[in-house]
Amino acid sequence: MKQYDLIIIGGGAGGLTVASGAASLGAEVALIEKREDLGGDCLHFGCVPSKSLIEAANEIHHARSVSKYGVHASGEVDLKAINQRVKESISHLQEHDSIERFEELGIDVFIGGASFRNDHEVEIENHEEPLFGKRLVIATGSRPNVPPIEGLNETGYLTNETVFDLEQLPKKMVFIGGGPIGLEIAQAYARLGSEVTVLEAGPGVLGKEDQDIQQKAQEILERELTIITNANVEKTSRSGGQSYVHYSVNEEEHKIEADQIFLATGRKPNTDSLKLDQAGVEMNERGFVNVDETLRTNVGHIFAIGDVNGTPPFTHVAGYEGKTVVQNAVFGLSRKASYDLIPWNTYITPEVFHLGLTQKEAQEKHDGVLLYHTDLADVDRFVADHKTEGFIKIITDTKGHILGAHAIGKGAGDWMQVAILAVEKGMKIGELSSMIYPYPNHTAAIEKASNEYWRSKLFSGVVPSITEKYIKWFR
């Protein structure tokens, strides 16, 4: 039985971060992945393919919208060609996550499903000998959650794992769920030409966003697709070669046609086949692995990172956790992971950016909260681009410490990075105003919002009367 300093189960973003980091530090590392290729859900079914699809859909949408300049686009969308483009993007990035690259780092890569034999030994499908690990990391990710809706198996459904295999553009699509995954794909298909309806069980879409962001995003999206909130999906059915989704709103029953049904109803952890009970590792009622702040499970030498532990399901979070675990698993440290200021983007058009607390959360946790708001229509570059839809909202305590920053607008995920740096460096909002922003720049939205801080400080209260007296004396 071969022994390793570290065994990682799962070759996604988190697992690859741990494997490469630990190997670079001199640890003997084994990496186990059940799929034929490394890269995980993000590369094969999530971040990369969805953004490739979104970009293609936006290009087509823009081509159709330039008729006002005398240029006219015509023709039908070739979905097969678009999804071939998606696969090319995956293939290009796969080279970076190739098995050969990790083997060159000195990592032993095993392909096959893994399960625990005990708290130190792991068995691999189609491999005779189990592996022994001094420490182990569970990084098996998650998969689409399939709710127990009557008729789903008969009508069929799409998820983010199957939607990129379509070859013909559906005329009518119904999306069950109004979270980021569902909305990104829904808007893309609406822009490609499908008639799209989103059924959301809650009172609004993007439920984790600031309320003002939610309202603005829904307002914009409803120009391109139909959103029905407070919708309780009861069953799906087929009749006359057509699929239907049956739902109710306030106990009033409805039925809608669908050529394709897309499930965007959350994620489920990939823990079913790991036999965690044989290692003594505890999970919660939903199957997510319980971890402490150092990402250790209740079995001290076993860690869990990424989607499988129930923390925010983002690739950058898995990478962050991977870096933390390298320190804790290789050197025995107790570095803690913090999620208070994890940023994320939702890649609808226009993009949504989220950092820290929403206004409601901030007001619940802090006695005094100040808001700084700028409409993009007041920022010259957005005016020049004719992309003025959206706004920025910065939330601070009474001393100017940034509690949250939110935006919706063209490229918000890029130009709001300044806010992340400010929070990381402990800067107050007034310091953002002191920076020099090249003109004309989209980031000036942050400058204008932060300028409001000084306006409130310098041009109200007792300050103006004091400065007026000083100026008269100075003359």
- Start-to-end CA span in the chain (Å): 88
- Any residues with CB less than 8 A from the CB of 162 and at least 6 apart, and which? none
Q: Give the residue from 186, 191, 208 showing the smallest Cα distance to 353.
A: 208
pLDDT over 60 (residue 463): no
**pLDDT for position 454:** 83
Is the CB of residue 366 less than 8 Å from the CB of residue 336? Answer: no
Residue 242: how many CB atoms within 10 A of its CB?
12
CA angle 454, 362, 292 (to 5 degrees): 125
**Average pLDDT in the chain:** 94
Q: What is the pLDDT of residues 307-349, one digit of tens each?
A: 999 999 999 999 999 999 999 999 999 999 999 889 999 999 9
Contact 314, 306 (CB under 8 A): no
Nearest to 4 by CA among 126, 120, 125, 139: 120
Here the tokens at position 108 are: 């032993």
pLDDT surpasses 70 at 407: yes
CATH code for the structural domain at 2-39+97-144+268-331: 3.50.50.60
Q: Is 181 helix (H, G, I), strand (E, B) or coil?
A: helix
Give the per-residue pLDDT at 468: 59
Would the pLDDT of 466 be above 80?
no
Task: Answer whether residue 247 shows pLDDT above 80.
Answer: yes
Tell me: pLDDT of 470 over 60. Answer: no
Closest C-alpha among 50, 34, 63, 60 to residue 89:
50
Q: Per-residue confidence at 276, pLDDT binned at 50, 70, 90?
A: very high
Look-up: residue for tokens 């999620």? 339
Confidence of residue 462 (pLDDT cuts 50, 70, 90): low
**What mean pLDDT is predicted for residues 282-297?**
97
Superfamily name and number for 350-458: FAD/NAD-linked reductase, C-terminal dimerisation domain (3.30.390.30)
Task: Name the residue among 148, 155, 221, 220 with its Cα closest to residue 189.
Answer: 221
Whether the CB-CB separation of 409 and 373 falls below 8 Å is answered with no
State pLDDT tens for residues 144-163. Answer: 999 999 999 999 999 999 99
Percent of the chain with pLDDT over 90: 90
Report whether pLDDT(457) > 90. no
Question: How many CB atoms are closer than 10 A to CB 150?
Answer: 12
Tokens of 201: 């069980």
2-39+97-144+268-331 against 350-458: fold identical: no
Reply yes or no on whether the pLDDT at 44 is more than 60. Answer: yes
The confidence score (pLDDT) of residue 75 equals 84
- Asked if residue 40 lies in contact with residue 161, where contact means CB atoms within 8 angstroms, the answer is no
Mean pLDDT along residues 79-92: 94
- How many helical (H) and strand (E) elements, i.e. helices and strands, does the chain have? 17, 21
The pLDDT assigned to 53 comes to 96
Q: What is the pLDDT of residue 376?
A: 98
**Alpha carbon of 56 to those of 8, 63, 78, 218: distances in Å?**
36, 11, 11, 22
**Pick from 153, 147, 203: which is nearest to 176 by CA?**
147
Alpha carbon of residue 154 to chain centroid: 31
Q: What's the mean pLDDT in 273-287? A: 97
Q: Give residue-wise pLDDT tens across range 115-137.
A: 999 999 999 998 999 999 999 99
**Interatomic CA distance for residues 282 and 289, integer angstroms:** 6
List phi, psi (to 5°) of 136.
-135, 150
Whether the predicted pLDDT of 446 surpasses 90:
yes
Q: What is the C-alpha to C-alpha distance for residues 459 and 253, in angstroms, rounded to an integer?
A: 56
Instruction: Tell me the C-alpha distance between 140 and 138, whole Å.
Output: 6
Token representation of residue 372: 């700084």
- The answer to whether residues 354 and 419 touch, using CB atoms and an 8 Å cutoff, is no
Total-model pTM: 0.93
Helix axes 211-221, 180-192, angle to 10 degrees: 20
pLDDT of residue 272: 96
Backbone angles phi, psi at 253, to 5 degrees: -85, 145
- Whether the per-residue pLDDT at 268 is higher than 60: the answer is yes
Specify whether the CB–CB gap between 317 and 46 falls below 8 A.
Answer: no
- Calculate mean pLDDT across residues 261-272: 96
Question: 17-36: per-residue pLDDT in tens?
Answer: 999 999 999 999 999 999 99
Tokens of 244: 């239907």
Distance from the Cα of residue 414 to its chain's centroid: 14
Strands of 260-263's sheet in order across: 226-228, 195-199, 172-176, 260-263
The CATH architecture assigned to 152-265 reads: 3-Layer(bba) Sandwich (3.50)
pLDDT attached to residue 98: 93
Domain ranges of the chain: 2-39+97-144+268-331, 152-265, 350-458
